[in-house]
Amino acid sequence: MADGGEVAQALWYVGPGRAEIRDERLAPLADGHVRVRAVHGAISRGTEALIAAGRVPESEHRRMRAPFMGGAFPFPVKYGYATVGVIEAGPAALAGRPVFALHPHQTRFDVPAEAVAPLPADIPLSRAVLSANMETALNAVWDAAPGPSGRIAVVGAGVVGALVGLLCARIEGAEVTLVDVDPSRAELARALGLNFAAPDDAPVDCAFVFHASASAAGLATALTAAGDEATILELSWYGAGTVAAPLGGAFHSRRLKLISSQVGKVAPSHRATHTYRQRLDAAIKLLADPRLDVLLAPAVAFRDLPARLPDILKPRSGVLCQLITY
C-alpha cells in the first residue's frame, strides 16, 4: 500500500479561457488500484479548446465526461485523456511499468489496475501520448471500411486527420491526400508519405472522404471531393456550435453517404471481435512508427500550462499535439 496524504497537482479549467493548477490530496491506495507518476501528457486541442471556452452543450454534459474527470461542465472541470506515466505502487506485476491512461492532466493519480495499458518497449513514452488519438483514428477507419485501390481524401490535417491518413495509406493501392487550408501542413504530409492539397486543389471522385476540420468550409470541401456513392465520414465535433451542411448540388444525384464516427463505441465492423481494451492495445501497437514524432510540439512543462494554454488552444496556433512534461 502507498502512504496516504500525498499531494498531487492537477490542471483545472475554471472559466472561459482560464485554467489553474490545484493541489489534490491522494487517499491511501485502494486494493486493486495503481498509483501512477505522470511523465508525459498531451493536450487534445480540438476538444480541450471547446472545453476551455465552455462550449460543451448541456445535452452532452454526461456523454462528454472523460474517464476520471473532476468537477462538472461548464466549470470548474478537470479534463484530459492522454497521460503516460510509470507505476509507483500497486500489484507487483505492474510495479515500475510504463503505462498509458485516459486520465486528466495530473502529476500523480490512482486508478483501477485495469484502467492502465502497459506500453511496449519499442514505443517512446513521449510518442505514447498519441494513444487516444490513434484509437480515434483507428475506429474511424474501421467505421468507413475503405477497400483497396481507392482514392481517399482526409480534409483537416490535424492530429486525428493525419493519423487517419497514415492508416489509410497502409491499404493496398490506396491513394491518400491530406487536404488543409494551412500550406505548412504539406511538410507534415510529406513526412508521413501522403499527398497534400489545398482545398481548391482537393482531389475529386474519391471513394472515401474523412472530414476532420471542424468547419463548415471543410465539410463543403469533403462533399465536393466525394465521388458517386462515396462515403463521407464526419470526425469533427462542433460542441455547442452549429454548422451548415451544403446538401444541395450533387449530394443527392451522386447518392453520397454522410456518416458519423465517434470513439465512444467500437465500430460495428469490429464490435464482435474487439473489446474497448483490445482496440486500445491495437492502437498503441500502431505507434511504433517513428514518423509519428512529427506530430509532437516541443514539450511544455506542466507547471507552465495555465499561462501557455491560451496560445496553445488558439486557432491557427500551428500546434498539432502539444506534449506536456511533468
| pTM of the entire predicted model | 0.94
Q: Which of 322, 295, 311, 258 is nearest to 158 (CA)?
A: 295
Q: Which domains does the chain have, with CATH numbers?
A: 7-119+289-325 (3.90.180.10), 137-266 (3.40.50.720)
Determine the Cα–Cα distance for residues 33 and 91; give it in Å rounded to an integer.
Answer: 8
Give the H/E segment covering residue 131.
helix 131-144
Summarised one tens digit per residue, pLDDT across range 162-205 is: 999 999 999 999 999 999 999 999 999 999 999 999 999 999 99
Going by pLDDT thresholds of 50, 70 and 90, the confidence category of residue 240 is low
Q: What is the DSSP string of 247-298?
A: -STTTTTTT-EEEE--TTS--GGGTTT--HHHHHHHHHHGGG-GGGGGGEEE
Going by pLDDT thresholds of 50, 70 and 90, the confidence category of residue 1 is very low
Cell 511504433 found at: 288
- For the residues 104-111, what does the mean pLDDT come to? 98
Is residue 241 predicted with pLDDT exceeding 90? no
Is residue 2 predicted with pLDDT exceeding 60? no
Determine the Cα–Cα distance for residues 46 and 242; give it in Å rounded to an integer.
Answer: 15
For 137, the grid coordinates are 483514428
42: left (phi over 0), alpha (psi -120 to 50) or beta: beta
For 187, the grid coordinates are 511538410
Mean pLDDT of the chain: 95
Determine the Cα–Cα distance for residues 87 and 59; give it in Å rounded to an integer.
Answer: 36
- For the residues 125-131, what does the mean pLDDT come to? 98
Q: Which residues pair with 85 in a beta bridge?
A: 38, 99
Going by pLDDT thresholds of 50, 70 and 90, the confidence category of residue 17 is very high
Is residue 245 predicted with pLDDT exceeding 70? yes
The overall longest dimension of the chain from CA atoms, in Å, is 67
Going by pLDDT thresholds of 50, 70 and 90, the confidence category of residue 4 is low
- For the residues 194-223, what does the mean pLDDT come to? 97
For 323, the grid coordinates are 506534449
For 283, the grid coordinates are 492502437
Determine the Cα–Cα distance for residues 39 and 149; give it in Å rounded to an integer.
Answer: 41
